[in-house]
Amino acid sequence: MQKHYFIIGAGVAGITAAEQLRRGDAEASITVINGEDYPFYRRLSLSTYLQGQTTLEALTVKQPEDYEALNVTVLQDRVAQIKPNENTLVMASGETHNYDGLIIATGGSAIKPPIPGIDLNGVRLGYWDMKDTLWYEEIAKANNGNDAVVIGGGVLGLELADCFNQAGLKVTIVQLGATLGEPLTDEVSGEILLNRVKESGAECRIGVMAKEILGDENGNVRAVVTSAGEEIPAKAVGICIGIRPNVAFLQDSGIELVNGCIGVDGYLKTNFDNIFAAGDCTWVSSGNMVGYRPNRTWQVATNQGTIAAMNLQGMQHPYDEGLFYNAGVLYDLPYTMLGNFNPDPNDESCQVHTYDTAGDPFAHFKLTVSEGRLVGAMLLGRQRRTNILRKIMEGNFIITGHEHELMDKKFKPKDLPVADIQTAGDADVEAKLAAYASKG
């Protein structure tokens, strides 16, 4: 009998899941519910559009004809309620749909802080979707040379501040946390970011809160008041203090939530056998992430979409988060974080090594070593040897004696006892290590 699959959310997790479901069943009916007014686009590249480096067309990944080719139906609507015991979706439009299998891939959206004045004209909550991006584009055009404030100095706030800065606005970032770029940064990289922001002409207020947003007599924003009592002028304000998973519509559904996310097992299954979840809305209990959970990245959402779909169709494919990996830009500096990139300073099992940046004041290379193995990397400003470091970590190689050479172009991983360690049994490993050590 033909199966009816529904996927909630047309982001990367949802669309990848739809593609996988089709690969697994040529006959099934597959419906993706798109809660946005735009076809699937590269969310992670929105800033390249704001910075004029790409077009809306180039950001769009799937056009209607692509769905036709996949034989996937797209419904423009939002799910208001799930009734898992009846296998029913209740839509915002009032329609209802029945499913045999369901994947929830609803991603996240901006956290709304209780700041008075948040609804004034010229203030935008969040930088997450196409609507936000087009709004920022318009306000930036209308305010060239004027003041702007970005509330929040995390990844998205910094990205928005860079876009405003490049569009010719005079930007001030108001960051409550102790460093810019938290939670990805340490003290050194936070300082580098701060210097970089200042050098580009933007300003920063660190360790202060936006207390109130002030408007003029026409309801237009005019300033942001901080907890330090400063009034920062602003014709445009963007608020980026964090993302929370889109799970409000699941209240009372019986689908279990964990830490405000959808709780899933090691196969991405919820507490209902025919409901799986994928992407930014999930909390994976079997993850291998260090110090930064949940892992909200494009790649993780893609992998989860594929595996949730495979398992919904009866496979038993365990989801393995693998090595923690996050890459992007902090303000305008590229970064990559791998594994235990920012170990607890009190963790005596970890040694941290920093590396020469050849005089680049906006670069920072830091590696974490534990028990003779490379377990983490933080690369800010310039990306050096990312793939090699990743391979060394994934291969679980012994790097003892080579800690200081790892970032050196001349150093080749083949100098490590790689294949031996990977393929040998424990006793053999000991023998090979001894032989390796004796080679000096």
Ligand X SMILES: Cc1cc2nc3c(=O)[nH]c(=O)nc-3n(C[C@H](O)[C@H](O)[C@H](O)COP(=O)(O)OP(=O)(O)OC[C@H]3O[C@@H](n4cnc5c(N)ncnc54)[C@H](O)[C@@H]3O)c2cc1C
Nearer to ligand X, 244 or 373 (CB): 244
Both tokens of 25, joined, read: 């069943």
CA 406 – CA 388 distance, rounded (Å): 9
**At closest approach, how far in Å is the CB of 43 from ligand X?**
4
CB-based burial label for 70 (10 Å; 0-12, 13-18, 19+): middle
Strand partners, 379: 336, 365
**Closer to ligand X by Cβ: residue 36 or 203:** 36
Place of tokens 């199966």: 3
What is the smallest separation between the CB atom of 29 and ligand X, expressed in angstroms?
Answer: 18
The 10 Å Cβ neighbour count of residue 105 is: 32
Dist. CA 261–CA 246, nearest whole Å = 8
Dist. CA 283–CA 260, nearest whole Å: 8
* Inter-axis angle of helices 12-24 and 298-312, nearest 10: 30
Q: Which of 11, 117 has the CB closer to ligand X?
A: 11
Q: CA-CA distance, 297 to 267, in Å (whole number)?
A: 19
Judged by beta carbon, residue 46 or residue 161, the one nearer ligand X is 46
Q: Residue 169 Cβ, how far from ligand X at the closest point, in Å? A: 17
Least distance from ligand X to the Cβ atom of residue 268, Å: 12
Sequence-ordered list of residues with C-beta below 8 angstroms from that of 54, at least 6 positions apart, any chain: 45, 48
Nearer to ligand X, 89 or 369 (CB): 89
> Does residue 99 sit in helix, strand or coil?
coil
- Give me the least distance between CB of 148 and ligand X, in Å please: 17
Q: Phi/psi of residue 218, each to 5°?
A: -95, 5
Q: How far is the CB of 55 from ligand X (least distance, A)?
A: 17
Look up residue 62 and give its two tokens: 């799937």
Per-residue b/e over 166-176, b at no fewer than 16 CB within 10 Å?
Answer: bbebbbbbbbb
Whether 290 and 339 have beta carbons less than 8 Å apart is answered as yes
Instruction: State which residue, 237 or 398, has the beta carbon closest to ligand X.
Output: 237
- The binding site for ligand X (CB under 6 A) comprises 8-14, 33, 35-36, 43-44, 46-47, 78-79, 105-108, 127-128, 156, 159, 246, 249, 279-280, 296-299, 301, 328
Least distance from ligand X to the Cβ atom of residue 302, Å: 8
Least Cβ distance, residue 46 to ligand X (angstroms): 4
Measured from the CB atom, is 301 or 380 closer to ligand X? 301
Question: Residue 301 or residue 398: which is nearer to ligand X going by CB?
Answer: 301
151 closest CA partner among 176, 179, 120? 176
